[in-house]
């Protein structure tokens, strides 16, 4: 919830406005935590590379056995290359995570972590394109939304005020009838949470 938005709008604030503003912010901005992580990783990598470059210059300027110096220089160059590769890999992964998180939020995912579990195989070979998107990601998410096995992981945008599926209204003068048994894929997000709390080893793919 955007508390600052609630303070600004006061009695005009609604959950729908909050969701729309959050989605628009997610399209154009990187979260503060993602920015800080990326910035810190960049600073550390630059510091490591600068330190090794200095060591290389010191070795080149020092006197001693030529073969020993060559070995030391080669080792430092190897470490420098490894440090740069590690930094670039981590930075790329953070960018990938940010793109996926934003895409899932905009698609109405109820729990981004749960949905990402179904994208593991796709993301293993995915790459960031020149335009800053992940090719094929939108299609993968759309297929999850349309699949009977995973549709329940997303908000139903066609109904702004859904009722609990499988429930019948109570008849006058009587007790409410018991809810109709449902498969996990047919449950709402709240029902699924309650179901998993009672059945922690349940198989959601069944």
CA distance linking residue 126 with residue 96, whole number of Å = 9
- The reply to whether 24 and 77 lie within a common domain is no
CA–CA distance, 18 with 182 (Å, rounded to integer) = 31
Residue 186 counted as domain residue = no
Q: What percent of the chain has pLDDT over 90?
A: 24
In a domain, 153, yes or no: no
Task: Give the list of residues 6+ apart from residue 108 with CB closer than 8 angstroms, or none.
Answer: 145, 154, 155, 157
pLDDT at 177: 54
- 1 and 55 in a single domain? The answer is no
Higher pLDDT, 3 or 162: 3
Say whether both 37 and 21 belong to one domain. Answer: no
Per the structure, the complete domain to which residue 95 belongs is given by 32-106
Overall number of domains in the chain: 2
99 in the same domain as 37: yes
Domain stop point among 86, 106, 126 = 106
What pLDDT score does 162 carry? 46
The pLDDT of residue 150 is 92
Same domain membership, residue 96 and residue 53? yes
pLDDT by residue (tens digit) across 86-144? 888 888 889 999 999 999 999 999 999 999 999 999 999 999 998 889 999 999 999 99
pLDDT of residue 121: 92
| Mean pLDDT on 62-72 | 71
Report how far apart the first and last C-alpha atoms of the chain are (Å, whole number): 33
- Give the 3-state secondary structure of residue 169: coil
For residue 175, the model assigns a pLDDT of: 57
Residues 23 and 78 in one domain: no
Q: Does residue 179 surpass a pLDDT of 60? A: no
């Amino acid at each position: 919830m955007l508390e600052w938005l609630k303070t600004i709008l006061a009695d005009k604030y609604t959950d729908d406005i909050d969701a729309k503003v959050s989605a628009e912010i997610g399209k154009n901005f990187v979260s503060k935590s993602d920015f800080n992580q990326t910035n810190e990783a960049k600073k550390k990598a630059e510091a490591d590379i600068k330190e090794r470059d200095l060591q290389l210059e010191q070795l080149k300027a020092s006197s001693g056995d030529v073969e020993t110096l060559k070995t030391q220089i080669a080792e430092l160059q190897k470490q420098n290359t490894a440090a740069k590769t590690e930094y670039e890999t981590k930075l790329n992964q953070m960018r990938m995570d940010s793109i996926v998180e934003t895409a899932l939020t905009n698609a109405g995912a109820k729990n981004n972590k749960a949905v990402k579990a179904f994208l593991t195989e796709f993301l293993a070979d995915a790459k960031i394109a020149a335009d800053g998107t992940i090719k094929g990601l939108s299609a993968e998410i759309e297929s999850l939304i349309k699949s009977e096995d995973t549709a329940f992981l997303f908000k139903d945008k066609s109904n702004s005020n859904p009722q609990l599926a499988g429930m019948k209204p109570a008849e006058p003068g009587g007790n409410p009838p018991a809810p109709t048994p449902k498969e996990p894929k047919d449950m709402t997000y709240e029902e699924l949470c309650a179901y998993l709390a009672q059945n922690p080893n349940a198989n959601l793919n069944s």
